[in-house]
Structure 1
Amino acid sequence: MKNLFNTSNILKSLLLIAVVVSSVSRLNAQVKPADSGYVPVNGTKVYYEVYGNGKPLVLLHGAFMTIGMNWGELVPELAKTRKVIAIELQGHGHTPYSERKLSHSTLANDVVKVMDYLKVDSADVAGYSFGGAIAYEFAIQSPKRLGKLVIISSTYKSTGWLPEINNAFKNMKPELFENSPMKAAYDAVAPDKTKWIPFLEQMMASAAAPFDLGEANISKITAPVLIIAGDNDGLDKIELAKTYQLLGGGKVADFGVMPKSQLAIVPAQGHVSLMAQTKTILGYLNGFLK
C-alpha cells in the first residue's frame, strides 16, 4: 500500500509538470538561444544554451528534465540582465546517453568543462532538485569558479529528503514514465531516442543510491547561498535548517551582522509546484543575485 501511495504521488507530480510544460513550450517558441552546442567532456559531450548578456549564471535542471521543461519561463526574464548558461546533464535532453557512471563529482566537473569552453572564469550557479545536488558538488570542488549559489528544493545528502521520498526513489520503474511529459520532452530533442530506457534505469539507480557530500564540505562553502524550498516539497525541514546553519545562517541578525546566505520557504508548495511559481522564484533570484 505504501508503494502505491508513493507511485500515485509521483504520477500526480507528472500531471502537474504537464501543465507547466504546455505553457513553457509556447514561451520557448518565441525565445531562441544566442548560442548553443556541444562541449567535449570526460569521454562524452554535454549540450548547452546561452541567452542574454551580463554576469554569467549557470542553470542546472532537475532529474529527467530538459532546459525548457525546467527553466523555460525563467530564462527570458533572467536573460534581460544576465548571461544565462543552461546545461543539459548526462543523458538529458540533447546531451547523449553515456554508459559512464553517474556521479555528482563527474557531473560537476562537466559543468567546469562547459565553463572552460565558453571562457567563463566564474559564475553564479543555480540548481533545482537533482541539479541542486550537482550545484552543491560544484561549490565544493570548484570554489574559485563560483560567485553565488542558489539551491532550489534540493539537498546535499539523501537523508535530507523525507523517508517517503527515498522510498519513492527506490520503487520507481521505467513504466511509470510511459506517455509522460518527460518522455515527450526527451523524444523531441534526444539524439538517440532508443536510449530512453537505459537512461531511466541509470538515473533510477542513481536516485536509489544513498549519497552524502559531507557536512564538513558544506560548512566550508564560502560563497553566499540562497536556499529556496517549498514548505511541503519532501525535504526534511529539520535537516534543511541544519544545512542553513552550516552555511552561516540561523543567526540573530539584530545582535550582529546579517548572514550572507539566505533561506526562503515558500508556503503551500510541493517539489514540482514550486518551480511553477515563476514570479516568486524570479523575485528571490533577482534580489539575491544583485
Structure 2
Amino acid sequence: MSAAPSLIAQQIKPTSRGYAPANGIQVYYEVYGEGKPVILLHGAYYTIEMNWGELIPELAKTRKVIALELQGHGHTPYSDRKLSRSTLASDVEKVMDYLKIDSADVVGYSFGGQIAYQFALQSPQRLKNLVIISAVYKSEGWLPEVNAVFKKMKPELFANSPLQTAYDAVAPDKTKWNKFLEQMIASAGEPFDLGDDNIAKITAPVLIISGDNDGMDKIELAKTYKLLGGGVSADMQAMPKARLAVIPNQSHVSLMRQTKIIFSYVDDFLQ
C-alpha cells in the first residue's frame, strides 16, 4: 500500500466537515452532496482524499456522502485507546448519531471493509446496503504471503512514503506518526475472525468487489460469497441479494484507482 490513487482534476468541497464525539475520541468526517446517505470507510493508513478523492465527486451527484477518518488516521487524532474492530464500528454509529442519520449504505475498502463487516454484525438496524472492496472478515481470507508480511511490518518501511506525506498534510499532531504506525502494525499482526456463522446472518444486500490479484484468497472469497447467499444457479432459483465482482488485472492498491469501474458497480448496486 505504498502508492496513492492519483486525483483527477474534478475536486469538490465538502458541504460540511467537523469532528463527532465517539467512544472517548473525536472522529473527523466530511459530508458531500444530498440524497440518501452513504458512508465511506477508508483503508489502513489512508486519508479520505487518498482513498476516495476520485469516487466522492461521482457519488455526491446523487447521494449524501459521509466520509470518515478512523482512529489515528488523517485529521482524526491519535489515541492510546485500544484499537479494535468492534470499537471502530461503534465509532461509525456514533458519527451517524451525531449527524442524525438513522441508517445508511456503508462502503469499506481494505481495513475499512473489515470495519464495515463488523458494523453489519453489531449494528444491523443501521445498515441498508453493504459494499466490501478488497477486504476480508478473517485473517485466512488473505493469501499466506500477505499474512506473513503483516507479521514482519516495521514503522521504518513507511518512512517518506506517500502514506506519510498524506498523513503529514492533515494530521493534528505529526509527531504521532510512529505511534500510530506501531498501533496499526500491532493490530494487523493479530489474527482475527468475525465468524462464518455471523457473516451468514447478514441480511442486508452485500456487494463484494475484489481485484483478481489483490492478495485475497479467491477460494475463501468464493466461500464468503456463498455464506452471503451467492454462488447459486440463478436460472433455477431467485437471484441472490449478494453480488460479487472480480476485476481483472488489478492489485490491492491499483483496484481503488479504477474509479469508473468501481463507481459503475457501486452505483448500480445501490440503485
> 1:128 — aligned with what?
109
Alpha-carbon offset, residue 61 of structure 1: 0.1
> 2:155 — aligned with what?
174
Considering fraction of residues, name the structure with more helix. Answer: 1
Q: Partner amino acid for 2:270?
A: L
1:50-89 pair list within 5 angstroms: 50-89=31-70
> 2:29 — aligned with what?
48
Quick one: percent identity of the two aligned structures? 71
- Find the aligned partners of 2:39 and 2:142 in 1 and give their Cα distance: 24
Matched position secondary structure for 2:191:
coil
Alpha-carbon offset, residue 210 of structure 1: 0.2
> 1:7 — aligned with what?
none
- Find the aligned partners of 2:239 and 2:139 in 1 and give their Cα distance: 29
- Find the aligned partners of 2:53 and 2:184 in 1 and give their Cα distance: 22
1:180-195 pair list within 5 angstroms: 180-195=161-176
> 2:192 — aligned with what?
211
User: Which residue of 261, 268, 271 corresponds with 1:287?
Assistant: 268
1:212-231 pair list within 5 angstroms: 212-231=193-212
1:164-190 per-residue CA deviation (whole Å, 9 max, x = no partner) reads 100111111111111111101100000
Q: Which runs of 4+ in 1 moved over 4 A?
A: none
- Find the aligned partners of 1:133 and 1:178 in 2 and give their Cα distance: 25
Matched position secondary structure for 1:243:
helix
Alpha-carbon offset, residue 239 of structure 1: 0.4
Q: Partner amino acid for 1:191?
A: P
Matched position secondary structure for 2:13:
coil
Matched position secondary structure for 1:253:
coil
1:97-112 pair list within 5 angstroms: 97-112=78-93
1:97-118 per-residue CA deviation (whole Å, 9 max, x = no partner) reads 0000000000000000000000
Q: Partner amino acid for 2:109?
A: Y
User: Which residue of 255, 269, 272 corresponds with 2:253?
Assistant: 272
- Find the aligned partners of 1:251 and 1:177 in 2 and give their Cα distance: 43
Alpha-carbon offset, residue 39 of structure 1: 0.6
Which TM-score applies when normalising by structure 1?
0.92
> 1:151 — aligned with what?
132
1:9-63 per-residue CA deviation (whole Å, 9 max, x = no partner) reads xxxx41xx24x24x35x54xx3110010001111111000000000000000000
> 1:115 — aligned with what?
96
- Find the aligned partners of 2:150 and 2:262 in 1 and give their Cα distance: 26
> What residue ranges of structure 1 are gaps of 5+ in the alignment?
1-12
Alpha-carbon offset, residue 272 of structure 1: 0.5
- Find the aligned partners of 2:200 and 2:176 in 1 and give their Cα distance: 38
Alpha-carbon offset, residue 88 of structure 1: 0.2
> What residue ranges of structure 2 are gaps of 5+ in the alignment?
none
Q: Partner amino acid for 1:89?
A: L
Q: Partner amino acid for 1:41?
A: A
Alpha-carbon offset, residue 280 of structure 1: 0.3
Which TM-score applies when normalising by structure 2?
0.99
Q: Partner amino acid for 2:22?
A: V
- Find the aligned partners of 1:278 and 1:214 in 2 and give their Cα distance: 31
Matched position secondary structure for 1:209:
coil
Q: Partner amino acid for 2:152?
A: N
Q: How well do the aligned residues superpose, as a CA RMSD in angstroms?
A: 0.8
Is residue 237 of structure 1 aligned with residue 198 of structure 2? no
Alpha-carbon offset, residue 90 of structure 1: 0.1
Alpha-carbon offset, residue 265 of structure 1: 0.4
- Find the aligned partners of 1:33 and 1:134 in 2 and give their Cα distance: 23
Aligned length: 271
